[in-house]
C-alpha cells in the first residue's frame, strides 16, 4: 500500500486484494444467511455467537406472514448447512473483546465462556446481534392476557387440533396492539398473520390498535384478506380498559374509526384470550460492542447505521457493517434484505482487485503533534491512532538529543478516514492538514 508521509506526493493508488476473511458477530438468521452466501463466494467466514446455539430471536417464530414455510424447519436446514460448510467456523458462547486495526486488516480478540481466546485478522466485520423480545408489562386481565410469541407457540402446538388455553377451549381472541411500541410494525404483521390462522380454526378475532402499520411488503393484501375473512379491526386513542370476568377478559374502548364523536359508542369485546404486543430492547452485548468497536450507539441502545436513509447497512467505520434487528426491531423479510445488501457490500470490497484505496485526505504533521488525544477522541470514524515516530516534536526540550528515541504522534489511517475535517478544525496545535 502507498505510504503516508507528511507533505508527500501520492501516486494514483492501484487496486489491491484484501484477504477474503469475514468475522460475523451474531449467529441468528441474518448472521447465518450472510455466512452461507459469503462462503459460497469462497470466503473464509467466522461466526461468533454469544449464545450456546445458532438461530437467535427467530426461534420463537413458527409462521411466516408471506409464505407457507415451516420457520423452524427452514432455520434448522440453514444451521445444518452452516455447520457442515468447510469455510465457516462457528464459535458459540463467544464475545468480541477487543478490536484493533481497520478495513483490510482488523485484529479481533474473541473470548469464549470457558476462557478460551482466539485472535482473528478479518478484512471486514459484520454485526448481526439482533434484539431481545419480551412480553409487555403485565396488564389487568389475569393469566388470559398473553404475548404474541406465546400465541405463536400455542398455534404451532395446535396445528391439527382445536385451540385451548389451560385446558379451556379458545373461541374468541382479541389482539391489543400499540400499548408499548408505537412505531414498530412487527406486532401488526404477527397479529394479522395469527388472526388469519385463528379464523381458519373457527375462532372469532378482533384486532385493536392505535395505528395499524401495513407498510411491510404484501401486508396491505394480508390485511384485506383478514377483513374479508371476518377479522374485526378497531382503532383507539385512549388506551382500552381490560377487566377480567369469571372465565374471560373484557376489552372496552372507544372506536375511533367512527368519525362523528357523538356517534361513537363504547365497544366491549369479551374474549377467551387477549394477545398483546411485545417489547423490543437492544441485545445486552450491544453497549459493550459499541465501546469495543468504537461505534456510535443509536436510540434505545441499538446499534446505529451511518445514514438510515441511504446507507442502512454501513456503520460509522469503514469495513464494519450492520444488518437486522440490531439496528431496530424488524420483520424477517426486512432483515434478510439487509443480509443480502451486506453480502453485496462485502463482495464489492473483498473480490480480487475490487478494492482501490483512497489517497489520504487528512494528515498529521508528527513534528507539531502535542499528543493531546483531542483528534483521537473526536474522530467520528475511529480513523486516528497514536504511533511512535522517529522525529521529535517541537515540544521536546531543545537540550534533548535526538538519540534515536521514538516520539509519539497521532496518525490518520487513510483507509478509515472520511475527510470530514473535524480533527483539523479541533487540533489545538494546528498539526493536521485537510487536503482538497
Rounded to whole angstroms, the Cα distance separating 137 from 125 reads 36
Angle subtended by helix axes 332-350 and 29-40, to nearest 10: 30
Which parts of 336-365 interact with ligand SF4 (CB under 6 A)?
Answer: 362, 364
Asked if residue 371 binds ligand SF4 (CB under 6 A), the reply is yes
Is 174 or 374 the residue whose CB approaches ligand SF4 more closely?
374
Is 169 or 435 the residue whose CB approaches ligand SF4 more closely?
435
Q: How many CA atoms lie within 13 A of 152 on its CB side?
A: 24
Q: Which of 128, 176, 346, 422 binds ligand SF4 (CB under 6 A)?
A: 422
Smallest distance, ligand SF4 to C-beta of residue 277, A: 40
What stretch of H or E contains 34? helix 29-40
Asked if residue 320 binds ligand SF4 (CB under 6 A), the reply is no
Candidates 91, 60, 54; CA nearest to 76 is 54
Asked if residue 432 binds ligand SF4 (CB under 6 A), the reply is yes
**Buried b or exposed e, range 341-375, using 16+ CB within 10 angstroms:** bbbebbeebbeeeebebeebbbbbbbbbbbbeebb
Smallest distance, ligand SF4 to C-beta of residue 385, A: 10
Which parts of 15-44 interact with ligand SF4 (CB under 6 A)?
Answer: none
Read off the C-alpha cell for 63: 409462521
Rounded to whole angstroms, the Cα distance separating 70 from 278 reads 22
Is 99 or 216 the residue whose CB approaches ligand SF4 more closely?
99
Chain-centroid distance of CA 79 in Å reads 20
Q: Which of 101, 135, 357, 419 binds ligand SF4 (CB under 6 A)?
A: 419
3-state secondary structure of 49: strand
Smallest distance, ligand SF4 to C-beta of residue 341, A: 23
- Write down the H helix ranges in 127-175: 148-156
Is 271 or 316 the residue whose CB approaches ligand SF4 more closely?
316
Smallest distance, ligand SF4 to C-beta of residue 9, A: 20
**Buried b or exposed e, range 229-252, using 16+ CB within 10 angstroms:** eebbbbbbeeebebeeeeebbbbe
Is 335 or 393 the residue whose CB approaches ligand SF4 more closely?
393
User: Could you tell me which stretch among 18-26, 84-92, 198-206, 427-435 binds ligand SF4 (CB under 6 A)?
Assistant: 427-435
Q: Which of 58, 208, 326, 410 binds ligand SF4 (CB under 6 A)?
A: 410
Q: Which of 18, 90, 313, 417 binds ligand SF4 (CB under 6 A)?
A: 417
Is 347 or 368 the residue whose CB approaches ligand SF4 more closely?
368
The 372-401 site mask, x for binding ligand SF4 (CB under 6 A), equals xxxx---x-x-xx-----------------
Rounded to whole angstroms, the Cα distance separating 1 from 103 reads 13
Which parts of 113-172 interact with ligand SF4 (CB under 6 A)?
Answer: none
Is 31 or 366 the residue whose CB approaches ligand SF4 more closely?
366
Distance (Å) of CA 47 to CA 51, 120, 228, 353, 405: 12, 11, 45, 25, 42
Those residues with Cβ within 8 angstroms of residue 386's Cβ, 6 or more apart along the chain or in another chain:
371, 373, 376, 408, 409, 410, 411
Grid cell 506526493 is found at: 9
Q: Which of 36, 370, 385, 433 binds ligand SF4 (CB under 6 A)?
A: 370
Q: Which of 205, 369, 392, 407 binds ligand SF4 (CB under 6 A)?
A: 369
User: Could you tell me which stretch among 19-27, 110-118, 123-131, 413-421 binds ligand SF4 (CB under 6 A)?
Assistant: 413-421
What stretch of H or E contains 204? strand 204-209
Is 306 or 338 the residue whose CB approaches ligand SF4 more closely?
306
Q: Could you list the residues that contact ligand SF4 (CB under 6 A)?
A: 362, 364, 369-375, 379, 381, 383-384, 410, 412, 417-423, 427, 429, 431-432
Amino acid at each position: 500500500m502507498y505510504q503516508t508521509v507528511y507533505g508527500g506526493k501520492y501516486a494514483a493508488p492501484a487496486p489491491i486484494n484484501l484477504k477474503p476473511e469475514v468475522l460475523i458477530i451474531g449467529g441468528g438468521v441474518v448472521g447465518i444467511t450472510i455466512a452461507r452466501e459469503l462462503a459460497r463466494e469462497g470466503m473464509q467466514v467466522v461466526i461468533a455467537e454469544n449464545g450456546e446455539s445458532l438461530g437467535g430471536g427467530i426461534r420463537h417464530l413458527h409462521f411466516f406472514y408471506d409464505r407457507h414455510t415451516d420457520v423452524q424447519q427452514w432455520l434448522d436446514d440453514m444451521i445444518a448447512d452452516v455447520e457442515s460448510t468447510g469455510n465457516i467456523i462457528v464459535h458459540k458462547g463467544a464475545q468480541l473483546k477487543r478490536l484493533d486495526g481497520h478495513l483490510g486488516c482488523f485484529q479481533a480478540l474473541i473470548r469464549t465462556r470457558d476462557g478460551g481466546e482466539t485472535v482473528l485478522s478479518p478484512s471486514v466485520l459484520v454485526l448481526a446481534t439482533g434484539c431481545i423480545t419480551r412480553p409487555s408489562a403485565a396488564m389487568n386481565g389475569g393469566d388470559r392476557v398473553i404475548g404474541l410469541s406465546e400465541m405463536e407457540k400455542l398455534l404451532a402446538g395446535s396445528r391439527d387440533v382445536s385451540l385451548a388455553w389451560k385446558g379451556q377451549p379458545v373461541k374468541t381472541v382479541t389482539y391489543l396492539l400499540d400499548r408499548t411500541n408505537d412505531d414498530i410494525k412487527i406486532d401488526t404483521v404477527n397479529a394479522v398473520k395469527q388472526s388469519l390462522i385463528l379464523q381458519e380454526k373457527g375462532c372469532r378475532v378482533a384486532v385493536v390498535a392505535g395505528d395499524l402499520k401495513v407498510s411491510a411488503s404484501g401486508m396491505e393484501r394480508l390485511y384485506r384478506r383478514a377483513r374479508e375473512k371476518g377479522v374485526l379491526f378497531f382503532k383507539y386513542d385512549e388506551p382500552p380498559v381490560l377487566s377480567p370476568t369469571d372465565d374471560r377478559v373484557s376489552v372496552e374502548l372507544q372506536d375511533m374509526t367512527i368519525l362523528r364523536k357523538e356517534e361513537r359508542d363504547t365497544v366491549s369485546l369479551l374474549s377467551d384470550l387477549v394477545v398483546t404486543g411485545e417489547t423490543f430492547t437492544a441485545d445486552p452485548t450491544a453497549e459493550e460492542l459499541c465501546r469495543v468497536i468504537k461505534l456510535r450507539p443509536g436510540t434505545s441502545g441499538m446499534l446505529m447505521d451511518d445514514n438510515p436513509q441511504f446507507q442502512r447497512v454501513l456503520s460509522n467505520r469503514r469495513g464494519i457493517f450492520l444488518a437486522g434487528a440490531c439496528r431496530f426491531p424488524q420483520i424477517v423479510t426486512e432483515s434478510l434484505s439487509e443480509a443480502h445488501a451486506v453480502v453485496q457490500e462485502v463482495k464489492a470490497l473483498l473480490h480480487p482487485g475490487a478494492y482501490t484505496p483512497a489517497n489520504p485526505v487528512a494528515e498529521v504533521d508528527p513534528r507539531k503533534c502535542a499528543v493531546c488525544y483531542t483528534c483521537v477522541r473526536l474522530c467520528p470514524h475511529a480513523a486516528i491512532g497514536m504511533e511512535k515516530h522517529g522525529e521529535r516534536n517541537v515540544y521536546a526540550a531543545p537540550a534533548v538529543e535526538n538519540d534515536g528515541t521514538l516520539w509519539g504522534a497521532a496518525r490518520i489511517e487513510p483507509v478509515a478516514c472520511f475527510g470530514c475535517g473535524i480533527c483539523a478544525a479541533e487540533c489545538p496545535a494546528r498539526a493536521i492538514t485537510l487536503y482538497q
